[in-house]
A and B are shown apart, each in its own frame.
Chain A
Amino acid sequence: MHYLAADYLAAEPNPIVPIWQELVVGTIAFAVLCFVLMKFAFPRMEATFRARVEAIEGGIQKAEAAQAEANALLEQYRAQLAEARTEAARIRDEARAEAMNIKTDLLAQAREDSDRVIAAGREQLVAERETVARELRATMGQIAVDLASKIVGEVLEDEVRRRGTVERFMADLEGEGIR
């Protein structure tokens, strides 16, 4: 019985005790695996991941740059538009002011002209009236003389009075003419 048990124990390996050959083989095999994967497989994956991130980030950066450029252009166009608007407004204001000036000038000139025409007319009138008056005075004298010559036969004696009458008549005529 004792012999049998000893036999059994000898035949039965202890699972908790490592087999040293397996330790050696396992270590070498695992080392080979580590070497190959950590040298050739995973670093390439890291490189691919990095390249992918860079590609995405590059794309984003490109898009951002394009966006910025577009924004700058837009801003520039807006500024130009605003400038053009200001310019147009300024030109319009100037034109309006100029038109106003021209109008005022024209008005003033017209008024001046009309004043001048009126003054000239008035002067001419005065001159003509004086001429007419002078002519009339002469004609009146002639008429009066003629009249007097016709009457002379009847009333010769009072020559002084007649002249006075004529003078008075003339004076009256002039006074009325002036008025």
Chain B
Amino acid sequence: MVLADELPFPPSVEDFHLVPAWVSKFTVLVWIAVALIIIFFLVLYRNPKLVPTRGQWLAESFYGFVRDRVAGDLIGHEGLRFAPYLATLFSFILLTNLFGIVPGIQISTNTHIAFTAMLAVISYVLFVAVGIRKFGFWHYWKKSLFLPAPLAVQPILIPIEFVSTFVVRPLTLAIRLFANMFAGHVILLVFTLGGFVLLNSSAWFLKPISVLSWVMAIALTFLEALVILLQAYVFVVLTASYVQGALVEDH
């Protein structure tokens, strides 16, 4: 039972902080993600033609999806100028999320709240800045906080509006993505490492159950793939919808 002693089981928060420093698995992965995305788009779009080739079509579809389905449909015609940022955001979250189920990497950088917090802060600054730029500082705040309601309700309504728009939004953005990735990683760890623990168990009848544990790990990997896509999409859609909320005219 030497092996069992060496296995880090059960998984703990420590599994996410292997070498917390400037150069860690996470910072390196972020740079790799950035490099891969840049290479992907620049290589596939090095020689664009009116009639697209397969690679060009792939790159265009990705951007076109965010541009038309997210920026265009959610924000409207004004939203098209946010399409490049939203597409960048989507590609970054999608790839860093995907690292969580890529064999050999097996962990998403978004399991560290620093990265999701950074993205959430950008989204926050973006939608506030867009609103202030369109309506002016005071008008934007008035528009965001004063809802058409009886004056008597305003003392309750204004703090609620303030908290929900300017405090909760960035926090939920950051925590939603981080927590989903974190939880997904913990679940995969539980079933994968659990399999080894069962295999190394002293009770012989527990050993075959390790296969079941690994099957579960594989099945949950597919679920994780869905979560990865969905959470990347949700982050981008919410950012777009916050921008739309900041741009919309008075109630």
Contacts and interface: CB of A to CB of B under 8 A. Distances in A.
Contacts of B22: 21, 25
Interface residues of A, number: 36
A15 B113 contact: yes
Contacts of A21: 20-22, 24, 27
Contacts of A30: 30, 34, 92, 118-119, 122
B114 A23 contact: yes
Interface string A103-146: 00000000000000000000000000000000000000000000
B13 A37 contact: no
A33 B50 contact: no
A22 interface: yes
Identify whether the interface residues of A are mostly helix, strand, loop, or mixed. helix
A41 B92 contact: no
A18 B113 contact: yes
A101 B131 CA distance: 93
A58 to B, nearest CB: 11
A44 interface: yes
B38 interface: yes
Contact of B27 (A11, A25, A33, A42): A25
A26 B115 contact: yes
A155 interface: no
Contacts of A23: 114, 117-118
Nearest to A37: B88
A147 B106 CA distance: 174
Given A23-B117, A37-B87, A13 B14 contact: yes
A52 B50 contact: yes
Given A13-B17, A21-B21, A34 B114 contact: no
A49 B80 CA distance: 13
Interface in A1-46: 11-23, 25-27, 29-30, 32-34, 36-38, 40-45
Contact of A19 (B63, B112, B178): B112
A14 B85 CA distance: 31
B85 A44 contact: no
A48 B63 CA distance: 12
B41 interface: yes
Given A33-B34, A37-B41, A48-B48, A20 B114 contact: yes
Interface in B100-144: 109, 111-115, 117-119, 122
A60 B112 CA distance: 53
A54 to B, nearest CB: 9
A44 B45 contact: yes
Contacts of B20: 13, 19, 21-22
B231 interface: no
Contact of A44 (B21, B48, B111): B48
Contacts of B85: 34, 38
Interface of B: 12-14, 16-17, 20-22, 24, 26-27, 30-31, 33-34, 37-38, 41-42, 45, 48-50, 52, 59-60, 63-64, 83-85, 87-88, 91-92, 109, 111-115, 117-119, 122, 178, 182
14 contacts: A13-B20, A19-B114, A21-B22, A26-B109, A30-B34, A30-B122, A34-B85, A38-B85, A41-B38, A41-B42, A41-B59, A42-B84, A42-B87, A43-B84
Given A15-B13, A22-B112, A37-B84, 20 more contacts: A13-B16, A19-B17, A21-B21, A22-B24, A22-B26, A23-B118, A25-B27, A29-B33, A33-B92, A34-B85, A34-B88, A36-B38, A37-B87, A37-B88, A40-B41, A44-B48, A45-B48, A47-B48, A48-B49, A51-B50
10 A-B pairs with the lowest CB-CB distances in the bound complex, closest first: A18-B114, A22-B114, A42-B84, A41-B41, A25-B27, A38-B84, A26-B115, A33-B34, A23-B114, A13-B17
